[in-house]
């Protein structure tokens, strides 16, 4: 398959985003002057690593490392694994990798301090009336899957760690403290909901007659990409599930404070308590790469079970490695697997999702995948196009 020339959202889009562009709402952690200056520094550093050092890294590979590899083996690197071995001892690649990994960890460390100094106030703000819009159902007995039992992408405590005995939202506040906005240079919009609006933009353009009444968002965390479905289909029932109680408490409070009636439930997407044929649409955004092969099999089977006939399962992700002929491009896109505490990133993008969907009940003819335009929402235009594309994998239950 021919390589796609446009970038996808995981690669740092070079934009002019500033910290002041990050969307504000009632529950979002507040920054003082110095903290905001630090966030602008991180934005500039991510841009520098992408815009300045990224092309230089490719040049060093083409002019030096690749030639040395050919001289030694008589052929060019054939896959991303050979590229990674070839560059691992190069000082420039080591410097770039250290800087990129360090800035991620430093940013989360800084954001943790920002959240910690105001967590009691945030916990208070997150209290919502029992008669509030939407519901929150937590399951204290839910076990965290092994594939989630570490600090995913260096976020301290990941999505599920409880710091307080009652009503803790600290993991949600940390997740919503600006990390995604910084790492993507604001390419997902001020509220980090660009993945959902990209999907909705595709659905309204190419499937205008599809109007779901009951929507399930898998791995919803704080609801960034859950709320847009309620905004676009206000009469639909929207439910978000996640394994982490702190992020769900935050999501519920965030949605309520922002005026959206959304149900949140603490569940593992591999096995839920929803009845058969219950949902019209089952979605996920940037979720599958944080699970295992076995988990994805189970998630597809569970999606098929809870979908009604005529319903749609659709996942927004980065494109598989097979979409790119250049082993170096595959290597760049696999960086998170080995350096960003996302060990399932690479394996997931090697999977035959089509075969797994067929084994889960979906019919071959009802499965499709494609690249869709990336939407970078603006406050006055939710469907403003950004730079790049998303990969979607989908299946109809017929």
Give the global pTM. Answer: 0.94
What mean pLDDT is reported for the chain? 94
Going 357 to 387 to 286 to 384, the CA torsion angle's sign is negative
Q: Give the model's confidence band at 295: pLDDT under 50 very low, under 70 low, under 90 confident, else very high.
A: very high
Confidence of residue 164 (pLDDT cuts 50, 70, 90): confident
Q: In this structure, what CATH number is given to the domain that contains residue 223? A: 3.40.50.150
Would you say residue 8 lies in a domain?
A: no
pLDDT at 11: 43
Domain annotation covers residue 267: yes
In a domain, 186, yes or no: yes
The beta-strand segments (E) located in the chain are 136-137, 214-218, 237-242, 263-266, 279-285, 307-317, 367-375, 385-396
The tens digit of pLDDT for each residue in 214-259 reads 999 999 999 999 999 999 999 999 999 999 999 999 999 999 999 9
pLDDT at 133: 84
* 79 lies in some domain: yes
Judge whether 254 lies within some domain: yes
12 located within any domain: no
Number of Cβ within 10 Å of residue 99's Cβ equals 14
Domains in the chain, number: 1
List the domain range (segments joined by +) for residue 85: 19-396
pLDDT in tens, 175-193: 999 999 999 999 999 999 9
pLDDT surpasses 60 at 13: no
Asked whether residue 286 is domain-assigned, the answer is yes
Residue percentage of the chain with pLDDT more than 90: 92
In a domain, 10, yes or no: no
Nearest-Å Rg of the Cα atoms of the chain is 21
């Amino acid at each position: 398959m021919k390589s796609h020339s446009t970038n996808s959202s995981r690669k740092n889009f070079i934009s002019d985003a500033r910290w002041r562009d990050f969307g504000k709402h009632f529950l979002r952690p507040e920054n003082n002057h110095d903290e905001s200056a630090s966030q602008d520094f991180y934005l500039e550093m991510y841009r520098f690593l992408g815009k300045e050092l990224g092309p230089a890294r490719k040049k060093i590979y083409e002019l030096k490392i690749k030639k040395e590899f050919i001289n030694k083996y008589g052929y060019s690197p054939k896959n991303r694994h050979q590229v990674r071995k070839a560059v691992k001892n190069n000082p420039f690649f080591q410097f770039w990798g250290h800087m990129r990994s360090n800035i991620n960890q430093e940013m989360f460390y800084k954001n943790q301090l920002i959240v910690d100094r105001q967590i009691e106030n945030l916990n208070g703000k997150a209290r919502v009336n029992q008669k509030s819009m939407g519901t929150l159902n937590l399951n204290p007995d839910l076990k965290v899957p092994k594939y989630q039992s570490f600090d995913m992408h260096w976020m301290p405590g990941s999505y599920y760690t409880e710091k307080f005995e009652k009503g803790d939202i600290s993991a949600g506040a940390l997740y919503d403290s600006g990390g995604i906005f910084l790492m993507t240079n604001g390419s997902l919009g001020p509220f980090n909901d660009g993945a959902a609006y990209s999907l909705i933009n595709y659905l309204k353009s190419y499937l205008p007659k599809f109007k779901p009444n009951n929507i399930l968002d898998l791995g919803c965390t704080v609801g960034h990409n859950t709320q847009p479905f309620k905004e676009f289909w206000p009469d639909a029932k929207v439910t978000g599930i996640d394994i982490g109680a702190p992020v769900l408490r935050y999501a519920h409070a965030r949605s309520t404070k922002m005026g959206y009636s959304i149900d949140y439930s603490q569940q593992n997407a591999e096995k839920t308590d929803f009845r058969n044929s219950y949902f019209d649409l089952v979605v996920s955004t940037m979720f599958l790469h944080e699970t295992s092969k076995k988990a994805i099999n189970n998630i597809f089977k569970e999606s098929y079970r809870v979908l009604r006939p005529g319903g749609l399962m659709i996942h927004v992700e980065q494109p598989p490695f097979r979409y790119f002929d250049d082993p170096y491009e595959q290597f760049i896109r696999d960086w998170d697997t080995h350096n960003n505490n996302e060990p399932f990133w690479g394996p997931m993008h090697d999977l035959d999702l089509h075969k797994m969907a067929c084994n889960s009940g979906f019919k071959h003819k009802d499965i499709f995948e494609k690249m869709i335009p990336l939407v970078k929402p603006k406050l006055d235009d939710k469907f403003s196009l950004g730079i790049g594309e998303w990969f979607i994998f989908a299946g109809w239950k017929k």
